[in-house]
Structure 1
Amino acid sequence: MIESVDLRRLQVLRLVHRHGTVTAAADVLHLTPSAVSHQLRQLARETGVALLEPDGRRVRLTPAGRALVAHADALHAGWERARAELAAYADGSSASLRMCGFPSAVAGLLAPAAARLRAADPGLAVHVAEEEPADALDRLLAGETDIAVAVLGGATLPLDDAKFGRRPVLAEPFDLIVPAGHPLAGREETALGHAADEPWVLAAAGSCDLYEVAVTACSAAGFTPRVAHHARDYAAVSALVACGLGVALIPRTATVPTRHAVARLPLRDAPTRRVLACVRLGSDRRPAIARGLAALEEAGRDLVSLPEGPDRR
């Protein structure tokens, strides 16, 4: 019979479930692997059931462990809703909001949203941090940030993850970039199929979702990209393109350094990615978080209305 369970140990189990290893969960929690293992052994004693079983070099939850995580998700969502209700009774004088996201999201969404929030409410302390998508969601789950901007899909943010609430903020198209002297460079827009015979600059397979976006879009256009170089940083990608070493797809919010002589072409058949603002499930009712989500939605609408064209940097 279960008489009591330490909720902090449930959080440890949630993170092990997310990452599949004790070491990765320990990194997120800023603990040693032995401390995490101890917490899990204590939780197993409290519940009276086996929670983990080996899976090669990783671990996986037993059926009892998965059932417990589902209940833990519901408990944490309920606690977030309670925090939101209690926040409504506070005077808001010490309110703060922490937001993070990947680099182009910081530039296109988080920075404008933070400026909007500061102008509307100087008493709200807003902090923005640049984080890779998986790290941003880990920080969110660990309670180290309030809003994480991420891209829908893939292993980073699967559709069925019940730990997070999601708010769409941007459906972002990809542009084709080519060297400034390329035959396509003078066009106002083009189709992806016109770059079928070009060498391509792509992220390495499995390194990020950008690779899957490019390969899927090219396949839909009727060709497989001939990969000449691998890069994922947009400055590195545009440098390779500017030197005539290939063409590439980059998101609309990604900035190309002005020193890189490339032409940026909107595509008639542009692939898109869905950018979401993620919160811990139930926390979106907290006033500061609700204001942050609204500001990000406004920033997303502003981005959609930006002028497009080959000369935009």
Structure 2
Amino acid sequence: MIDPRLQSLRVLREQGTVTAAAAALHVTPSTVSQQLRGLARDFEVELLEHVGRRVQLTPAANALLRHADLLAAQGELARAELAAHRAGIAGRLRLSAMPTALAAVVAPAAARLRDTHPRLSVSLIEDESTHCFELLLAGDCDIAVILPAPGSPSADDPRFEQRPLLAEPMDLLVPPGHRLAGRSDVQLIEAAAEPWITGRDWITHSLVVSAACAAAGFTPRIAGQAVHFVGVSAMVANGFGVSLIARLALIPPELAVVRVPLRGDTVPIRRHLVALRRGSAEHPVIAAGVAAIRAVCHERADITVLGE
């Protein structure tokens, strides 16, 4: 409902290059370049300046973007109000989430929506939280379940609305026969001398392990890194170290590992958020999607539902 050239400028700010912005928008780089030249010509200002082989936004572009974000939110409000005049829940809903939340919460909620509202088409995308924000901005998803991390949009970002969803404790993961495996709970400091398995540096799990161990008073000795919890679990099952695992994480039954609950003041908690394009929350389809996700969360006794 706003000039598509403004949307190209918004995505360029997020992606950093014309080529990446074009990929996110599913158009060619020449299309984005042509749109931005036309926008600059219409407003009679320079929007981009070249710095080596890259381009950066000018002060005029940043001023225009402040208005573009407001217009985008107003467009979402208009869509939501008009959709309320339609009969029933129908149309398309696209959901994205990081892997553990998608498997444990979002996929069951999507199936429930599909079965309850036969006129609603529901699709899912699994991705890391930072990419889920990019999908929202580009219009490739409508609801994202994310974990905030360094570099994520701030709570007052004018492009997104972020709502608390759930709090999920982390457990200590050890192999069978480990000295801590038979305990009903442990303090994290008791595993300080163990070799540790963590996520790769760009994976949120790496930050969670580092922060939790630091809060407990030690620096973990890293013995292995993985991209997904399946890889973490496989390394732990085969005796390469211990790790932290999210309560929602699904472990393949063939991997012999033991979850040990943590206790004390330094129990790490992952707090998930629902992220939406600002202005879209009252759209009937999106509201139904958020309600379904929250309903699935309420049915689980191992997490705490937030924001109510």
TM-score relative to the length of structure 1:
0.89
Question: In the alignment, is the contact (CA less than 8 A) between 1:87 and 1:287 conserved in 2?
Answer: yes
CA separation in 1, counterparts of 2:176 and 2:121?
43
Aligned length: 301
Q: Offset of 1:290 from its aligned partner?
A: 0.6
Amino acid at match of 1:50: E
CA spacing shift, 1:34–1:123, aligned 2, 3 Å: closer
1:215 maps to 210
Amino acid at match of 2:196: W
The 5 Å alignment of 1:163-182 reads: 163-182=159-178
* Aligned equivalent of 1:229, options 203, 224, 228: 224
Point out where structure 2 has 5 or more consecutive residues left out of the alignment: 304-308
1:123 maps to 119
CA separation in 1, counterparts of 2:3 and 2:223?
50
* Aligned equivalent of 2:252, options 257, 262, 268: 257
1:310 maps to none
1:292 maps to 289
CA separation in 1, counterparts of 2:14 and 2:108?
31
2:59 maps to 63
**Deviations 1:105-155, CA, capped at 9 Å, x for gaps:** 111111221233245434333222323323322222222221111112322
Is 2:192 aligned against 1:196?
Answer: yes
Amino acid at match of 1:124: L
- Matched residue of 1:284: which SS? coil
CA separation in 2, counterparts of 1:306 and 1:212?
22
The 5 Å alignment of 1:132-143 reads: 132-143=128-139
Amino acid at match of 1:278: A
RMSD of aligned alpha carbons: 2.1
2:268 maps to 271
CA separation in 1, counterparts of 2:253 and 2:149?
31
* Aligned equivalent of 1:187, options 183, 186, 192: 183
CA spacing shift, 1:259–1:157, aligned 2, 3 Å: farther
CA separation in 1, counterparts of 2:53 and 2:151?
19
1:80 maps to 76
Point out where structure 1 has 5 or more consecutive residues left out of the alignment: 1-5, 308-313
**Which sits farther off after the overlay, 257-266 or 92-101?**
92-101
1:32 maps to 28
Q: Offset of 1:39 from its aligned partner?
A: 1.7
Question: In the alignment, is the contact (CA less than 8 A) between 1:152 and 1:273 conserved in 2?
Answer: no
CA separation in 1, counterparts of 2:136 and 2:46?
27
